[in-house]
Amino acid sequence: MGMSAATTAAEGIKFCIFDLRRGQQEGQELDKILFFFPADLPFSAQLSVIGLSEGLITFTRIFSPEAACEVIEAERHSHVFYEAEPDIWMVMVVEKNESEAIWRIDALRKVLKEVHSLFLMFHGSIRTMIEKEPAGGLIRSHLYPFIMDYLSACQKRSLLDNCCWDFLLGKKLQLPSFRDCLKERGTVQMLTVSREAAIEVQSLVRVLESFAGNTQFYSLILFQDLLVSTTLSPVDTINLFTYAVLRLTPRALSSGVSSWSYLRKGSTTSNVATGSILAQSASVSEQNFRSRDTSPPGGDNSHHIARPLQPDRWSKGKDGFLVTDIWGAEASSSTSATPTIWLQQTEERVYVCAYQYRSLTLILLVPVASILGEQGVSAVKQQILENASLKMLKIEEKLSKGWAGENAYHVSGYRYLLVDGDRDVSRASPPGKVTTLTKESLLALSKVREEVDLEKGRMEHDNAGQEKDLEVCIRAKNNAWVIARITKGKELYMVLEKANETVLYASDAVEKFSNRYCNGAFSLD
């Protein structure tokens, strides 16, 4: 639904990662490129994208040394910049057109941020990997499949999903457009639980913590695609939540199967794992990388690389634990087959144990340093089965009873997005309801969000320390009310169609909503 499509074949989108510390010598410019999509673009064209980006980064630093180029708006394209790590830049070039490809820059930048955050979680920083193998083969061979998997995360998401999309559908690359203006990437969607259920969840969390003994385990609990509980830091919560919704929740596991079988039917390629076009371009790219790679392992190092975002590699075992062979590929290199990730907050490597009971998914994170390899992991799993599974069953029952389905958070008459910036939590009208809005209303809201993004950016750059307080209420040409409210780190966006024409009506509507659903956060008095 509702996302804009750009045909990759018609070079509708370009996506690159480059390192400004590399390839400074003339003739070695290619060395800068760590990733480029589409990979079959001639090098001259790749270098042209990177040359322009680098030129503008340098140019803008003349005037704005602390914040270099963020976006280039040209008539036909937008170039979105993100400095993921010092001197490591991600640039996405999207084509514009009149009908659907109308982008909100901040939403696109959040895609870049997300893919980088996920990369950090699984592989650590790009810079570290470059330093490990300065020729660049290692980082390239990691980035390429990772980002292609991210872009191709090929399951069609359900209507319930608010936040995570898959970008490559067939030949079309799906990016967040104006139609997604009532969504916020990089936030977590929470389940509202009753007090009774909350107590049960707390007790489960305590049980899980008790497994750790002297060390500390972390846990994340989801119901459907909504977060119930976390003991992780906000940044790690967002990353793991994003991953879980993409790959681990019951919906992710099941929808993968169905959409995948459909794709298989249409595809004659023997490469089942990746999907047709991507597989082809991936191999093209690997050849490219090899041709310029002088590092010895060049040829077959791709076999050792875990591809955590690869679709349909997770399944639910009979014991309730989610299993995958993604990390198993590394077994030969004597590492564990149990998935591991990096926590940004504590900079420790942890095992990921995911256990699922019906709609309830538990992710327990066990520091690698605290237990003895696979044996330790099995011991922890045993403890979950013995001490936690019954509690989970009860909790699942309770939550399912109270769960109103995918339209649970629909508020009749309103189409809204509520973002709590301090907690990185968002809640929004169900996507199925948002699609009832006219294109004009969505465009108007997208524009207002762009204005708000700019204002927020200014606040950040100015380091003013004061919190933005803003109220915008627009009666659009199609008579819809388009509303943005920013106050005390919270943001509320709203579209009211078929509403009365006075401003007072609109602000009453906000007031009611605020009192009822936001504890009065946006109420005036």
Partner 1 sequence: MSSDSSSTSGDEFTNPNPNPNSTSKPLEDQFASAALTEPDNEPPEIQESPNGVVNGSVSENNHGEIERNERGGAVGSNLEARQSVRWRRTNSEVEVEAPSSPSSSGYAGERGSSSGSGSSGGFEMIGGGIGGDDDEIQEVSNVDSIQDSQASWMPGKRHVDEDDASLSWRKRKKHFFILSNSGKPIYSRYGDEHKLAGFSATLQAIISFVENGGDRVKLVRAGNHQVVFLVKGPIYLVCISCTEEPYESLRGQLELIYGQMLLILTKSVNRCFEKNPKFDMTPLLGGTDVVFSSLIHSFSWNPATFLHAYTCLPLAYATRQAAGAILQDVADSGVLFAILMCKHKVISLVGAQKASLHPDDMLLLANFVMSSESFRTSESFSPICLPRYNPMAFLYAYVHYLDVDTYLMLLTTSSDAFYHLKDCRIRIEMVLLKSNVLSEVQRSMLDGGMHVEDLPTDPLPRSGTLSPHLGQPRDSPESFREPFVGIGGPAGLWHFMYRSIFLDQYVSSEFSPPINSPRKQKRLYRAYQNLYASMHDKGIGPHKTQFRRDENYVLLCWVTQDFELYAAFDPLADKAVAIKTCNRVCQWVKDVENEIFLLGASPFSW
Separation CA 248–CA 322 (nearest Å)? 8
With contact defined as beta carbons under 8 Å apart, do 474 and 483 qualify?
A: yes
Choose the binding region for partner 1 from 115-123, 126-134, 416-424, 457-465 (rule: CB under 8 A). Answer: 457-465
Torsion of CA 176, 433, 439, 470, to 10 degrees: -70
* CB 104 to partner 1: min, Å: 13
* CB 435 to partner 1: min, Å: 19
- Could you say which of 72, 263, 323, 408 contacts partner 1 (CB under 8 A)? 72
- Could you say which of 1, 9, 67, 257 contacts partner 1 (CB under 8 A)? 67
State both tokens at 491.
């943001």
- Could you say which of 1, 74, 199, 379 contacts partner 1 (CB under 8 A)? 74
Please give the residues from 15 up to 54 whose contact with partner 1 meets the rule CB under 8 A: 48, 51-52
* CB 54 to partner 1: min, Å: 11
* Those residues with Cβ within 8 angstroms of residue 219's Cβ, 6 or more apart along the chain or in another chain: 205, 208, 209, 229, 230, 231, 362, 363, 364, 365
- Compare residues 57 and 159 and give the one whose CB is closer to partner 1: 57
- Could you say which of 315, 378, 502, 515 contacts partner 1 (CB under 8 A)? 502
- Compare residues 246 and 495 and give the one whose CB is closer to partner 1: 495
- Could you say which of 69, 118, 240, 434 contacts partner 1 (CB under 8 A)? 69
Task: Of 173, 122, 137, 174, give the one whose Cα is nearest residue 281.
Answer: 173
Site for partner 1 contains 471 (CB under 8 A): yes
DSSP 301: G
Site for partner 1 contains 451 (CB under 8 A): yes
What is the residue-wise DSSP string for 378-396? HHHHHHIIIIIHHHHHHHH
Site for partner 1 contains 444 (CB under 8 A): yes
- Could you say which of 221, 248, 371, 476 contacts partner 1 (CB under 8 A)? 476
What is the residue-wise DSSP string for 493-514? EEEE-S--SSHHHHHHHHHHHH
Site for partner 1 contains 62 (CB under 8 A): yes
* CB 25 to partner 1: min, Å: 21
With contact defined as beta carbons under 8 Å apart, do 212 and 231 qualify?
A: no
* Those residues with Cβ within 8 angstroms of residue 302's Cβ, 6 or more apart along the chain or in another chain: 141, 145, 286
* CB 284 to partner 1: min, Å: 23
Put residue 490 in one of left, alpha, beta given phi > 0 → left and psi -120 to 50 → alpha: beta
**Contacts with partner 1, residue ranges (CB under 8 A):** 48, 51-52, 55-56, 59-64, 66-77, 102, 440, 443-444, 447-448, 451, 457-458, 461-462, 466, 468-477, 479, 502-504, 506-507
